[in-house]
Amino acid sequence: MPSLTVALTGNPNTGKSTIFNELTGAHQKTGNWPGVTVDKKEGYVNYEGYDISVVDLPGTYSISTRSAEEQVVIDYFQHNTPDIVLNVVDSSNIERNLFLTLQLLEMGIPLLIDFNMKDEAKKRGMSVNMHSMEQLLGMPVVETIGRSNKTMQKLLDLFISIDMKRADPSGMLKEYIDSIETIRNSNKPIHVIEEDVVAARYAMIDRIVEKTVTFSETEESCSEKIDRYLANGMFAPIIFFLILYAVFQITFSWIGQPITTILDHLICVSFAGYAGDFFCAVGVSDWLRSLLVDGIISGVGAVVSFVPLIFVLFFCLSFLDGTGYMARVAFIADPFMRRFGLTGKGIMPLMLGFGCAVPSIMGARALDSEKDRIISMLVAPFLTCGAKLPVMALLAAVFFPDHAANVVFGMYLLGFIVAIFAAKLLGVTLLKNDTAAFLLELPPYRMPDMKTVFLETWDKGKGFLVKAGTIIFVCSVLIWFLSKYNFHGFAAQMSESFLALLGGGVSYLFVFHGFATWEAGAAIISGLFAKEVVVSTLGVLYGLADADTERAAEQANLFLKSGIGTDFTALSAFSFMVFLQLYTPCITALGTIKKEAGSWKWTGFSAVFSFLTAWVVSLLVYQIGKALGLG
């Protein structure tokens, strides 16, 4: 079968990824380009007997090796000669888009230039004369209107019929490339040469635009009108919080969490129950049954039950991203974020941390610099995620029945304050280097391409399931082992297990914190597995069989009557809560950091850094509290 390779290149926000997704559909694989956190997307399409493989290069404004994305594009063209390079250009924004086009042509890469979003350009009163454009550059051109079957048909027909070897730069283009060559060979200092090249490029663009584009007056565009509310002054943050609130409601109350609860019940209760009965019936030994049911099935359940949350949340975010709103969020949040050494783009990943650290860490990928990405991943777990909430709610209800809501709110606030100050601290110490400038395109609002939204969602969900899933699974089995065994074999009760032993060991770390009991130690260890497990561990240890995370407040009284009331004072309980709020992320979050940062170094750092922060802050709380006579 004849085969073809097509590389897609172009600026961000030109509809390039939409074209890629519409062309290849589900026949894609995504990975990372070697050595960098830049998505590598390849796909396949079979058309009229041709086997066409398509690679979607990262969207860049230029190729001058300033960013990892630009380096990827340069490296790609140095090592590959695709049959066709499709340069996607936003027709409503030709001037800036042609900058990359010219840069590619200067490198001697023949281009098939796709003037996309013709409809949008028309709305803005612009039209491009395709015939003169083709004449002027000597490169084949095509005009498309974004997502539509007709567009894809048109492109595929071109792919199989066109012969790029016959694309011959026009006289004007050759002259231009020669003039760039002359500038490069002059004896001026390198930065002057670079500036002269940029100026020459824009001069060329002005000439092209003058000859091919006609402008007519139009009214203020729709995007401008919307931006007067969504990206202007003090009104904008209010709308942002409303939208964020809606996303959280959809994810954690309306769609995601209910599905998670059902799945969790199906796997960890129903299926585990049947499996247990089955193993019993066929005579599987106790320890093996426990491993299969309490270890493996619960472990798988823990991974799987996260998946609906991840899918729903990323669906919402991909959708918002597709509309162009995310750029506005970064815009309005920048004044706040910059005080802590971050840029506005960091607000969304950080806010997600209030839902769950996992999507928050995954969301850090969208940030510009490695520094911002790492900082964002390290501080997000300080926030009160959905799983810490029941822990806080329970302890607050037990020890501060009259002020429970205020105490829980205080924990939220504490997590947030620690997160932003930790960001500042990491920024000026460990990760100081470039303060990346904040230059951000505000693309026009668009209706997102649903295929792209679904594919992105699927991609994130699958990535989480496979990569983080393996780590979570292994750790779940480990926790199972610790809580069920001791040196003599199978432990009848948790209080006799390795976990209790370790808890006792760990408790020595908290002698000055007021909660140096093995129960607290065991709860802390089990919280590494998943934060909400702290509730059930405390429940088991203090002899309440079914500590239910849903009814924290009602159980508070029962709890207080058990041993917990004598083990903790109000102050030591508060210090314990502070510790639980801030300490080492759960293994799911750590697994995600490993996947996203690509190194054990940062994973280990995150674990230790959060532990130390929690240790110090909770110590301060307890000792200062005691000095003030509160304990």
Partner 1 sequence: MTLRDGKAGMVLKVKHVADSDLKQRLMAMGIIPGTQIKVLRSAPFGDPMAVRIRSYNLALRREDATMVEVQKIS
Given the complex with partner 1, which of 181 and 441 has the nearer CB atom? 441
CB 328 within 8 A of CB 227: yes
**Residue 116 in the binding site for partner 1 (CB under 8 A):** no
**Residue 16 in the binding site for partner 1 (CB under 8 A):** no
Question: 489: Cβ–Cβ under 8 A, 6 or more apart, which residues?
Answer: none
* Pairing assessment for the beta strands 50-56 and 3-10 based on DSSP bridges: parallel
Report the site for partner 1 in 118-157 (rule: CB under 8 A). 124, 126
- For residue 58, give the nearest of 12, 121, 4 by alpha carbon: 12
Residue with tokens 């594919």, as numbered in its chain: 455
Interaction mask 492-511, partner 1, x per CB under 8 A: --------------------
- For residue 79, give the nearest of 71, 87, 90, 67 by alpha carbon: 71
**Residue 191 in the binding site for partner 1 (CB under 8 A):** yes
Per CB under 8 A, the list member of 48, 157, 175, 195 interacting with partner 1 is: 195
CB 299 within 8 A of CB 483: no
Given the complex with partner 1, which of 99 and 602 has the nearer CB atom? 99
**Residue 460 in the binding site for partner 1 (CB under 8 A):** no
Given the complex with partner 1, which of 124 and 289 has the nearer CB atom? 124
Report the site for partner 1 in 208-227 (rule: CB under 8 A). 223-224, 227
Residue with tokens 């130690």, as numbered in its chain: 521
Per CB under 8 A, the list member of 344, 355, 461, 521 interacting with partner 1 is: 344
Per CB under 8 A, the list member of 19, 236, 247, 431 interacting with partner 1 is: 236
Scanning 173-181, 283-291, 326-334, 348-356 for contacts with partner 1 by CB under 8 A, the matching segment is 326-334
What phi and psi, each to the nearest 5 degrees, are found at residue 31? -155, -160
Per CB under 8 A, the list member of 198, 291, 477, 570 interacting with partner 1 is: 198
**Residue 99 in the binding site for partner 1 (CB under 8 A):** yes
CA distance 275 to 413: 43
HEC secondary structure over 367-395? CCCHHHHHHHHHHHHHCCCCCHHHHHHHH
Cβ 21 to partner 1 shortest distance, Å: 23
Cβ 330 to partner 1 shortest distance, Å: 8
**Residue 101 in the binding site for partner 1 (CB under 8 A):** no
Per CB under 8 A, the list member of 18, 21, 28, 62 interacting with partner 1 is: 62
Scanning 129-137, 359-367, 380-388, 438-446 for contacts with partner 1 by CB under 8 A, the matching segment is 438-446
Scanning 56-64, 256-264, 267-275, 364-372 for contacts with partner 1 by CB under 8 A, the matching segment is 56-64
CA distance 573 to 272: 34
Cβ 434 to partner 1 shortest distance, Å: 8
Angle CA 625–626–629, to nearest 5: 95
Given the complex with partner 1, which of 157 and 195 has the nearer CB atom? 195
Across the strands, what pairs with 213?
A: 128
Interaction mask 386-425, partner 1, x per CB under 8 A: ----------------------------------------
Q: How far is CA 288 from CA 268, 387, 489, in A?
A: 17, 29, 13
- In which region does residue 109 sit, left (phi positive, over 0), alpha (psi from -120 to 50) or beta (all else)? beta
CB 276 within 8 A of CB 290: no
**Residue 627 in the binding site for partner 1 (CB under 8 A):** no
Cβ 524 to partner 1 shortest distance, Å: 40
Given the complex with partner 1, which of 420 and 573 has the nearer CB atom? 420
**Residue 233 in the binding site for partner 1 (CB under 8 A):** yes
**Residue 331 in the binding site for partner 1 (CB under 8 A):** yes
CA distance 368 to 345: 8
Measured in whole angstroms, the distance separating CA 514 from the mean position of its chain's CA atoms is: 38
CA distance 98 to 206: 10
* Max CA separation in the chain (angstroms): 90
Q: How far is CA 20 from CA 88, 164, 391, 449, in A?
A: 11, 20, 45, 11
Could you give the dihedral angle defined by the CA atoms of residues 571, 573, 576 and 582, in that order, rounded to the nearest 10 degrees? -80
Cβ 62 to partner 1 shortest distance, Å: 4
Number of residues that bind partner 1 (CB under 8 A): 44
Report the site for partner 1 in 63-92 (rule: CB under 8 A). 64, 66, 92
Given the complex with partner 1, which of 79 and 191 has the nearer CB atom? 191
**Which positions touch partner 1 (CB under 8 A)?**
61-62, 64, 66, 92-96, 99, 124, 126, 191, 194-195, 198-199, 202, 223-224, 227-228, 231-234, 236-237, 327, 330-335, 338, 344, 437-443
